[in-house]
Amino acid sequence: MKRLPPLPTLHTFLITAQCCNFTRAAEQLHITQGAVSRQIAGLEDHLGYALFQRQARGLSLTAQGQAWLPRVQQVFSLIGEAVEQIGEKRQTLQLKAPTCVMRWLLPRLLQWQKERPDVPVELTTTVRHGVDFQREAFDAAVVYGPPPDASLDCLHLFDEQLTPVCSRPLLEGPVPLDSPIDLQQHLLLHPTADERDWKAWLAAADVHLSNVSKGQHFETLDLAMSMASQGTGVAIGDWSLIGEDLSAGRLVMPFDLKVRTGLGYHLVCPRKPEVSGPLQELMGWLVEQAQTR
């Protein structure tokens, strides 16, 4: 096969053919007029025929030059599309999420990376439950709380449903845990400092306990669940987040009552005319995972 002409020389031909003037081509390419003339002459010598007719007031394409122009335009168009598409596939999506959702989110992101290694995701965790896209450079975020306002594109993942959980040895141990009133004899584990989760569940169960404030408090849901799985006490957890712990037997539910708080988890991103394909795919996939949990 005949040796192909150098790509920079073809680019010089493309620019020169579009303006039919060595001087204007040199200005666009940021090289001298003489350099443009030499590259075109070298390309014509390589091909064995003229691409331009030199005229007193400029240039015009020969029949061969006219045949070359659309083909070279197509080549550079394909290269441009490849740069854009491949660059988009390799772009790492930046995702923010509160620590309380990690028990649900992290295993699914690991599964996503196995299925879609071409769309990497970088996860940033925080104890905060919201996001400010104007100040924070994230593509999307999982937020906890009431439904976000209309300034964001929002997809609902699941609602918060509170229920007590503990280890099976504790449930089957010598201290009864047959009804909610039996919680009076157990150490209550709080995933937050304000005790609101236990108070909400006990109010729904119509039970008053005197040991609520005597329980152990943690900074995160994950710590409270870990201590509960070790038999330390009974934790109040979000059923929506601990499905895998329940399925694996690390935690059990002593009671059937699940209390909806009116809060939930939502997947949000900035409202834009067009969301990138990879981000749309990731968000849609996470919603599907939430619906089949």
Please write the tens of the pLDDT for every residue from 70-101: 999 999 898 888 776 665 555 789 999 998 89
The DSSP bridge pattern shows strands 121-126 and 188-190 to be unpaired
- Give per-residue pLDDT as tens, 216-261: 999 888 899 999 999 999 999 999 999 889 999 999 999 999 999 9
Least confident of 148-152, 249-253, 266-270: 148-152
Tokens read off for 97: 């999420």
Detail the DSSP E strand segments found in 110-222. Answer: 121-126, 140-145, 152-165, 188-190, 216-217
3-state secondary structure of 276: coil
Is 290:158 a contact under the CB 8 Å cutoff?
Answer: yes
Is 194:131 a contact under the CB 8 Å cutoff?
Answer: no
Asked if the model's pLDDT at residue 126 lies above 90, the reply is no
Find all residues with CB under 8 Å of 227, minimum gap 6, and list them: 189, 216, 218, 233, 235
Q: What's this model's pTM, rounded to 2 decimal places?
A: 0.67
Using CA atoms of 34, 7, 52, 26 in order, give the dihedral in degrees to the nearest 10. Answer: -30
Cα–Cα distance, 127 to 199 (Å, whole number): 21
20: region left, alpha or beta (phi > 0 left; psi from -120 to 50 alpha): left
Give the burial class of 242: count Cβ atoms within 10 A of its Cβ; 0-12 exposed, 13-18 middle, 19 or more buried: buried
